[in-house]
Structure formats: C-alpha cells, structure tokens
Amino acid sequence: MPATPASTLKPWLGRLRGRVRLPQIDRLAWRGGSPVLWGNRVTLLEGGRLAFESMLAAIRGASRAVAVEMYAWADDRVGRRFAEAIRAKAREGVRTLVLVDSFGSLGSGDLMESLEQSGAEVQWFHPLAPWTPAWFPNRRDHRKLVIVDGACAFAGGMNFAEAYTEEFTGERAWIDLAVRVEGPAVKELSRLFVRTWIRTGGSEGAAGDLGESGREQGRAGVQIVEGAGIIRRRGLRRSYLGLIATARRRILLANAYFAPERPLRRALCRAARQGVSVELLLPGVTDVPMVRWAGRASYGRLLEAGVSIRETRRSVLHAKAAVFDDEILVAGSANLDHRSFRHNLEVAVNVFDPDTARRASAVLEGELTKAEEVTLDAWRRRPAKEKLLERLAGLLRYWL
C-alpha cells in the first residue's frame, strides 16, 4: 500500500503544532506499509471498566452491524455480558459477526454456541487440530477488535475477561488500555476484519459491507499497521524501528511480554546513547513467567546504554503501548516478542495526535511512579537461579 503523499498532509500540519515533520510521516507510513489517514477522533480508554462500558454501549446502540475479533473471550461475568449484548443485537436482526481464536478462547464453546443459536455468525481461527498438515501451534489470531456500524472501532490489549476490570478484581485488575477510533481509519480496521473472516471460512457475503464510513470525525492521523502473513508481518517491526529512530526527546514504552528481537534491542540502545530518554514499563508479575525471564536476559545491555526500566508489582501489566515525543501513540495487540512479530495476527493503531499522546503519557507515567526501578547494579547482583532461568528462557525465546 503506498505511503501517504506529503501534499495531502499539509492541511493537518498545523494541527500537529508543527512538531511532526512531513518527511517523517511519509517515512513512517512507508515503514508501516499503510497510509496515515487523517480526520479521526481517537479516545483513550484506560482500564477495563471504562473500555468495556464504552464497547458495550456502542454494541447496544448498533443498528446495522457488529463485528468482534477476539483472542480470548472468557466464559465469565464479563464474557457473558458481552455475549448477551451480541445475542440481543442478533435477535433484533442486526448483522453480528464473531471471530475468536480457538486457543485463546478455549473453554468458551458453549458461549459461542449460544451466540450462534441467537442468529450470530461465529468463526474459529485456526482450530486445534495438530493432526492436520497445515496446523502450526504458533499461528494465532491475537487481535482484539470491536467494530460497530462502521462508525467506531475499538482496539487494544484487552480480552473479554474479568481480569481486566476493577469491577470484579479491584486493585488487582490487569493494567491495560484501548482506543476508540471514529473516522476514516475505521474503514481500514473493517477491511482487516473482513480479510481474516474470509480466511477462516466465513462467507464474503456475510461480511459484506460493515457500514463502513470514511467521514471525518476529528483531527487525528491514524495508521493501521497489521501483522499477518509473510509480507505484512514485517510492518510491525519496521514501524517500531522507524518510530524509535524518529524520536528525538522521549520514548515511553509499556509492554506485557517483552522479549524483543535483536534489531529492536539495538534500536532502543542507540536511541538512549543519542540522548533520547528511553523509559520501559515492564511486568514484575506476569501470567507467563518464561517470557519475563527471556526479557530480563536483555536488561543488562539496555541498562548499560542508559535505558530506564521499571517493573510493575501491584498487578499484571498487559498493555501494549508506546508514546514517542508526546506526539505519537501506539496502541494495539502486539507484544514485543517473536510470537507477535513473526507468527500471530496482530494490529497496531498508530495515532498521530499530540493531545492523545500526552494523555497516554500521563496514564503510563502514573504507573511508572508505582513501579519498582531496576538498576544496573541490582540486575548484576541478581541470584544465580534467576540467571539460569533467563538463560533457559532465552533458548526458548522463539516459541514463547
């Protein structure tokens, strides 16, 4: 897909307050493999309670079509709440399409069956069938997308599960965020969903027109970067590397499963050595310990280069977000590991809007103040047991 011509960005340059230069945006569009679309309104949704309430309100107000692409749809109070909203829309005659990953949503078969009985169409991505020639354990649909009437779309790191909301887990709620997008970029997210829907065996006629609208709703530029297939998966890596190289003042990055490939580690170190403030918010407690051990093995070189690392302790960090120079926000489903960059279906929403980026910075800074700093001296003095675990996890990095 061609990069966005610089001439089309000139009317919007003033709205970015002159901070992001046109050549930079052209270069980032080329690296991500998709254009920057302008005229969007982007709302940052911090935490599961706010995000789920906004999603449910949009679904309940749908009049034409609801499309959900979800890695993990749990059969718990949150999952059942979303299922009831989908069933109600299906009974009203609203087209409802649900696409779930067969591994991430394992155990939710009865819930999905209830959706089908109400009239919703359900597809399972890459069913668990290891005896088939095309089956591969690392091929997963890790996206979290909700699209309503083609007018608004939600993307981020949150699955449909109780763990993400303070309503059921209080202060132990997983730390995450999402974005609500309205405007031309919704059309690109709809196309992304339709391609995957057809790939899983869903009919093109059923997907049809999701009520896509290209009307301008705000001033933000949005780039949809997908990770899928042999070619498109490179966009995530190239996009992150481009954003890191473009940053001049600050990189604030929060990621749940941090076991980055060598080019990304080198880019972060290079930015820190060039005087950019590079701050990483990483999990101190996690639901996948092996990934944490694999990531901690790379702490030494990062800290030596001047990268600041803090680990959350109060709860599981599940966010996949980054802010560059308080101008560009990246939010989506992709972790910084081999699985996301090489195998999974992922999506990143790159938001070119200083106001949204600053709000995200404030949210992440609030978590940084509560997190525990990892110093180079403390890392070097870590117990031998931790060093062994890091080494073993590093050997399995590709499969984690």
387, pLDDT greater than 50: yes
Q: pLDDT digit string (tens) for 18-33?
A: 444 445 787 888 788 8
Q: pLDDT digit string (tens) for 244-271?
A: 999 999 999 999 999 999 999 999 999 9
Q: Which two three-digit tokens encode residue 117?
A: 């009985």
* CB of 269 closer than 8 Å to CB of 357: no
Tell me the residue type at 264.
L
Percent of the chain with pLDDT over 90: 76
17, pLDDT greater than 60: no
pLDDT recorded at residue 18: 43
* CB of 66 closer than 8 Å to CB of 211: no
What residue ranges of the chain are covered by domains with CATH 3.30.870.10?
Answer: 12-38+219-400, 48-174+184-217
Q: What does the pLDDT average to over 45-64?
A: 97
The CATH fold of domain 48-174+184-217: Endonuclease; Chain A (3.30.870)
pLDDT recorded at residue 32: 82
Lowest mean pLDDT among 39-43, 109-113, 124-128, 252-256: 124-128
* CB of 124 closer than 8 Å to CB of 115: no
Lowest mean pLDDT among 17-21, 87-91, 203-207, 357-361: 17-21
pLDDT band at 3 (very low <50, low <70, confident <90, very high): very low
* Domain at 12-38+219-400, CATH class: alpha beta
Distance of alpha carbon 42 from alpha carbon 5, whole angstroms: 22
DSSP strand pairing (144-148 vs 121-125): unpaired
Lowest mean pLDDT among 185-189, 262-266, 359-363, 392-396: 392-396
Q: Please tell me whether residue 163 adopts helix, strand or coil conformation.
A: helix
Mean pLDDT score of the chain: 90
67, pLDDT greater than 50: yes
Tell me the residue type at 127.
P
* CB of 145 closer than 8 Å to CB of 190: no
